[in-house]
Structure 1
Amino acid sequence: MSSSSGGARPRVLLVSAYRWLHTVRAALAAREAGFDVALLAPVGHPVGTLSWVETVGSYSALRPAREVARVVSEERFDLVVPVDDLARAAAFDAYAHPALSAEGADTLRRSLGAPGTFPQRGNRYAVAQVAEANGVPTPSTRPVADDGELDAALAELGLPVVLKADGLMGGEGVRFARGSGEAHTALRTLRRQPRLRNVVGGFVRDDNPNYLRPFLRRPPRHVVVQPLVAGIEATMTAAAWQGELLGAVALQVVSAAYPGGPAAVVSTLEHPGMLDSARRLIAALGISGFCGLDFFLLPNGEPTLLELNSRATHTSHLAAESTGPLWGLLAERITGLAATPAPRTFATGQPIALFPQERLRDPGSTYVGTEREDVPVQASEVVDLIIEWSARPIPSLLGRAQRRLAARRPPRPPGPAGAAAVTT
């Protein structure tokens, strides 16, 4: 049981390293599940403009673990939820930071699960080993640090293969190779440290100081190689508590936002094999909070695990009819009160056009504007925010300076708990 008592609403801290819009959907789902929502994110994050969200700090690209440790030590939270890979790494690193208080350490253990498995959860090879040891089907995975190790792996696994690097997101960290030459080129590309012009260009283009961190710290890139698996893409978002699977939403990917990128259209699945794999891996790693699992469904229907994301993914807000809201399951475990029903649930096999991903992929999509599009019509403030941010141009240098000056002012406090801040 958490520190919530006396009927007080549980309080969640969302940690975000990027100004990604899926964090808006996570914030709304958390609020609808009964949480008071706080935010630790870069200056100018869209979630920070919502009247019912309390901004408690600014995510530091250069010292993120220290900032997470400071915030969770100074304030009370019942749950800390990272929403991207950098935020997840910062939350894990904060557990070992000297600025973390004993109370803050309790908060992170409650929110994230077993600290002893933190290093494994961000390492593709370690996750594959844990999966294999616990009966979770996964492709043969070999770590490769140089050309000699790659040649040995190719001799064992054969071709074609896929190479994956830790610390890179989406298609950036994945390369396919049908021949030995392609594989060696892919290895060099994945292990190559970012060039200064690319770092500066990314920072200027996206107004994102996270581009600077890997260049300044230059951490080693861990790369693995796997045989290329043919099958149907599927994904699962799960809610867990101290190694216990509370519930999960399984989805088949109908189309992606871009090749190798996140899903734009999905359909819900009932798949006992995926659920069993999630249960085994969550128990082995002692996971709390959210995690995402990516699979390929083989022609015989058997799932093979491709990847674990130990954070809230961009589908954490979805609720299947058989499971209910995942955020509600966590609130129920924290408070002991029955979960609040989700405003909308999806039946098995029902196509879901994710909002705004499908609109951004194809504004003329046949899903847009239909009941199959996942628009939170019960929260017009959120809909307006997402549409406005989706069309917003990259700010000018003057606009960025003004945004940072505005961030120096005291953060706006949230409205009263439970106040009607969105139109329903």
Structure 2
Amino acid sequence: MKPKILLVATSRWIPTARLAMVLVQTGFEVEAVTPRRHPLEKTGVVRRTRRYRGLIAPSSIKNAIDEARPDLIVPCDDTATQHLHRLYENEKGRGQGNNALCELIERSLGCPESFPVLYQRTSFMQLAKLDRIRIPDTRVVKNLANVSECIVDFGLPIVLKVDGTTGGEGVCVAENAHDAERAFRILDRPPLLTRAAKRAFVDQDTTLVWPAVLRRKSVVNAQAFISGHEATSVAACWKGEVLAALHFEVLKKRSSAGPATVLCLLENGEMAVAVSKVVRRLNLSGIHGFDFMLENGTGAAYLIEINPRTTQVAHLTLGPRRDIPAALFAVLSGNSVQPAPRLTEKNTFALFPHEWLRDCQSEFLRSAYHDVPWEVPALVSACLRAPRAQLGWRAYQRFLPLHLHTSSPRVIAVQGKPATAVSRSAAADAD
């Protein structure tokens, strides 16, 4: 009997569809709970798809789990992970901490004691520091006085980040004290009701409704700025052990706060060791992503955050110890790992459709491996027709930018890349 995976998605991210295709090719039976009109519906590989309903999210996900009875749950975005954490807490609160649902969530995500720290940036950094992982100094800031203290201690530029967000959302780099204070005021406040309503009725995304209604403020962190370029990892984990991992340097992004569009496969021992230490420390299971900064001049890898869910590259099958689906299939089936043939001998990857949308004349569309799902023409067509909201990367789309005025043209940057605006999505999402 095939092991069954339930994909849980609250956003219409195209990589979820790509992952489903590879999971089925690996030997899994796949079911899903997603919003309406998800790209995954174009693949034809999912046995059954159930509807995710944002206003009653925990109930809709729990019903899907009860009906599907999967061997493993894979959250496909940060909100999905938080819903699963909440389900676990709810069951524990009813005195049912040992029931089948709690056991399944633990098996899928890892030790429940680690759940809170995954979205607390400062606490996560402090844990990483215990394992001698290279990190930038990070501190919670509750008011403008705290921001000023961090500027004195960390210097300028300074990074401000909101808890509960990843992928560039709610992250800004201020080059002077005035910009840092203004950015803090924006990131610290709850989402506007009008914006939450627009997201709910136009985009059918109800993520912001409860934070807006409850006037839930965000937790803002200050972090020392690392001058360098971005790198990213994704790992398949099981009970605190890394089964397979991919490490990449980010070569191109669609926007400063958007997703990577071109990646280069890395052999980076410092990144690999850091990932293994975090996975062991938090006793993680499932698929997790990690973001790094590679320091200019030294190449030193600074761990800057964890993404407690699958990422946009988890479907890339690149041989032994680099095949995420094969590693999970082996541990769930009890068989030895049988990685798929390496997707390509190239080490540079142009991700579809993001690199094509960034620059349809990009040299990487020819020189790199262009990751287009040609075998599913309906998905290719849907990707090219999809509105930006369906591309699933809120950091560059759904919020009117706040333009910070200064004499310097490089007012705000995200992870060291110049930009002109700071996204309010982080303070709004607080996933």
TM-score norm. by structure 2 comes to 0.84
Counterpart of 1:69 in structure 2 is: 62
- Which SS does the other structure have where 2:247 is aligned? strand
- Which SS does the other structure have where 2:207 is aligned? helix
Which amino acid in the other structure matches residue 211 of structure 2? P
Mean Cα deviation higher: 30-39 or 333-342: 333-342
Hey, what's the Cα distance between the residues in 1 that align with 2:39 and 2:200?
Answer: 18
2:334 to 322, 333, 336: 336
- How far off its partner does 1:309 sit? 0.3
Asked if structure 2 preserves the Cα contact closer than 8 Å seen for 1:206 and 1:394, the reply is no
Aligned counterparts, 1:13-412, within 5 A? 13-98=6-91, 102-298=99-295, 299-347=297-345, 350-368=347-365, 372-377=369-374, 380-381=375-376, 383-392=377-386
Asked if structure 2 preserves the Cα contact closer than 8 Å seen for 1:48 and 1:54, the reply is no
- How far off its partner does 1:291 sit? 0.6
Distance 1:57 1:112, change over 3 A: same
Distance 1:129 1:66, change over 3 A: farther
Distance 1:170 1:235, change over 3 A: closer
Structure 1 position 9 matched with structure 2 position 2: yes
1:175-207 CA distance string (max 9 Å, x none) = 111111111111111112111222233334423
1:320-378 CA distance string (max 9 Å, x none) = 3452311110110111223343254344x72110112111212222333666201234x
- Which SS does the other structure have where 1:245 is aligned? strand
Asked if structure 2 preserves the Cα contact closer than 8 Å seen for 1:253 and 1:267, the reply is yes
Asked if structure 2 preserves the Cα contact closer than 8 Å seen for 1:266 and 1:353, the reply is yes
Asked if structure 2 preserves the Cα contact closer than 8 Å seen for 1:268 and 1:350, the reply is yes
Hey, what's the Cα distance between the residues in 1 that align with 2:74 and 2:385?
Answer: 27
Hey, what's the Cα distance between the residues in 2 that align with 1:343 and 1:354?
Answer: 19
Hey, what's the Cα distance between the residues in 2 that align with 1:197 and 1:346?
Answer: 47
- Which SS does the other structure have where 1:297 is aligned? strand
Distance 1:219 1:55, change over 3 A: farther
Distance 1:225 1:391, change over 3 A: same
TM-score norm. by structure 1 comes to 0.85
- Which SS does the other structure have where 2:169 is aligned? helix
Distance 1:285 1:296, change over 3 A: same
Mean Cα deviation higher: 132-141 or 71-80: 71-80
Asked if structure 2 preserves the Cα contact closer than 8 Å seen for 1:69 and 1:95, the reply is no
Hey, what's the Cα distance between the residues in 2 that align with 1:9 and 1:121?
Answer: 31
Asked if structure 2 preserves the Cα contact closer than 8 Å seen for 1:34 and 1:340, the reply is no
Distance 1:326 1:394, change over 3 A: closer
Hey, what's the Cα distance between the residues in 2 that align with 1:168 and 1:214?
Answer: 14
- How far off its partner does 1:307 sit? 0.8
Distance 1:270 1:169, change over 3 A: closer
Question: Which runs of 5 or more residues in structure 1 are unaligned?
Answer: 1-7, 396-424
- Which SS does the other structure have where 2:33 is aligned? strand
Asked if structure 1 preserves the Cα contact closer than 8 Å seen for 2:107 and 2:285, the reply is yes
- Which SS does the other structure have where 2:70 is aligned? coil
Question: Which runs of 5 or more residues in structure 2 are unaligned?
Answer: 390-431
Hey, what's the Cα distance between the residues in 2 that align with 1:394 and 1:220?
Answer: 27
- Which SS does the other structure have where 1:365 is aligned? coil
- The sequence identity of aligned pairs, in percent, is 32
Which amino acid in the other structure matches residue 132 of structure 1? K
What count of residue pairs does the alignment treat as equivalent? 384
Asked if structure 1 preserves the Cα contact closer than 8 Å seen for 2:236 and 2:288, the reply is yes
Hey, what's the Cα distance between the residues in 2 that align with 1:155 and 1:32?
Answer: 54
Distance 1:171 1:296, change over 3 A: closer
- How far off its partner does 1:319 sit? 2.5
CA RMSD of aligned residues (A): 2.1
- How far off its partner does 1:34 sit? 1.1
Which amino acid in the other structure matches residue 92 of structure 1? H
- Which SS does the other structure have where 1:229 is aligned? coil
Asked if structure 1 preserves the Cα contact closer than 8 Å seen for 2:26 and 2:329, the reply is yes
- Which SS does the other structure have where 1:295 is aligned? strand
- Which SS does the other structure have where 2:47 is aligned? strand
Distance 1:392 1:75, change over 3 A: closer
Which amino acid in the other structure matches residue 95 of structure 1? Y
Distance 1:312 1:393, change over 3 A: closer
- Which SS does the other structure have where 2:129 is aligned? helix
Mean Cα deviation higher: 55-64 or 24-33: 55-64
Mean Cα deviation higher: 124-133 or 66-75: 66-75
- How far off its partner does 1:86 sit? 0.5
Hey, what's the Cα distance between the residues in 2 that align with 1:119 and 1:14?
Answer: 22
